[in-house]
């Protein structure tokens, strides 16, 4: 499993941290994700560590994949050059490893992020190509947790008119069921990521179940250097305030 939690900066050549799938949209703004200075700094530091590792071992596949993920996130945070590099690197990796479904999913995610920087005439093409790559990856490897997480978070963040809401719901439901059946497949960091993005998605779609899911995220101790805690707390507070008058589920601690 390649996915881990965003902004964890681990060892260079082993246990490399996951950069959570970055979040695309089709707006004209320069930044897709509102990232804190701490998040951006952590991503940049992770990039530097990976690039230093690759200077020693240029063919290290794990480092190259993780670098593609980091570059994708930096692209989502507003760095066009990083987004360009992410697409180029992940496309190269897919060419080298055409049967690797996870790389294909990561490449698809990078394409949707790159759409914000493309011309108005090619935005939808980049987005739909990215969707197709992620869907093909899921079809090739439907039980892969990494692919499901990537597609779920990506689908949860795009505008509704693109028709990915049902996929987001289905993927999150699949992940929650998998957590129940095989909890050892999920690190605490990955659980926090899934619960947060699922809860945020439910909150945005006026679903009171957001409170319970976000409370589960808040209950997991954060890792060192975590940047997600404040977002979880803010979303949980909003969900409780929104649903407390009408939903008993808002009483979940």
- C-alpha distance from residue 57 to each of 12, 50, 52, 196, 209 (Å): 11, 10, 9, 35, 46
Which pLDDT tens digit goes with each residue over 106-135? 999 999 999 999 999 999 999 999 999 999
Which pLDDT tens digit goes with each residue over 199-243? 999 999 999 999 999 999 999 999 887 889 999 999 999 999 999
What is the pLDDT, as a whole number, of residue 243? 92
Global pTM reads 0.84
Question: Which of the four pLDDT bands, split at 50, 70 and 90, describes residue 249?
Answer: very low
Find the DSSP H helices in the chain: 37-56, 61-76, 80-96, 101-114, 123-140, 145-157, 165-181, 188-204, 209-219, 229-243
Average pLDDT of 1-29?
Answer: 34
What is the pLDDT, as a whole number, of residue 226? 85
Q: Which two tokens stand for residue 228?
A: 């997600």
Kindly tell me if the per-residue pLDDT of 15 is higher than 80: no
What is the pLDDT, as a whole number, of residue 28? 33
Angstrom distance (rounded) from CA 112 to CA 28: 14
User: Which of 6-10, 86-90, 173-177, 194-198 is the least confident region?
Assistant: 6-10
Query: Mean pLDDT score of the chain, rounded to an integer?
Result: 86
Task: Determine the Cα angle at 38 with ends 27 and 131, to 5°.
Answer: 35
Angstrom distance (rounded) from CA 203 to CA 72: 25
Average pLDDT of 3-10?
Answer: 34
Question: Which of the four pLDDT bands, split at 50, 70 and 90, describes residue 244?
Answer: confident
DSSP conformation class of 97: -
């Amino acid at each position: 499993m390649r996915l881990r939690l965003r902004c964890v900066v681990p060892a260079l050549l082993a246990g490399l941290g996951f950069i959570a799938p970055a979040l695309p949209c089709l707006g004209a703004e320069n930044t897709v994700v509102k990232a804190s200075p701490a998040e951006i700094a952590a991503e940049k530091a992770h990039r530097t560590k990976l690039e230093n590792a690759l200077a020693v071992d240029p063919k290290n596949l794990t480092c190259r994949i993780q670098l593609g993920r980091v570059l994708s996130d930096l692209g989502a945070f507003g760095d066009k050059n990083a987004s360009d590099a992410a697409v180029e690197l992940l496309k190269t990796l897919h060419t080298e490893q055409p049967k690797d479904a996870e790389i294909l999913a990561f490449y698809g995610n990078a394409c949707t992020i790159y759409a914000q920087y493309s011309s108005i005439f090619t935005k939808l093409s980049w987005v739909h190509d990215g969707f197709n790559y992620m869907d093909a990856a899921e079809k090739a490897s439907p039980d892969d947790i990494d692919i499901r997480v990537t597609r779920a978070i990506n689908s949860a963040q795009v505008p509704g008119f693109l028709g990915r809401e049902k996929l987001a719901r289905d993927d999150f439901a699949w992940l929650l069921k998998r957590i129940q059946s095989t909890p050892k497949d999920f690190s605490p960091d990955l659980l926090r990521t899934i619960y947060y993005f699922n809860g945020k998605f439910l909150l945005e779609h006026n679903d009171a179940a957001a409170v319970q899911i976000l409370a589960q995220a808040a209950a997991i101790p954060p890792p060192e250097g975590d940047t997600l805690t404040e977002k979880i707390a803010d979303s949980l507070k909003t969900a409780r305030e929104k649903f407390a008058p009408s939903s008993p589920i808002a009483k979940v601690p």
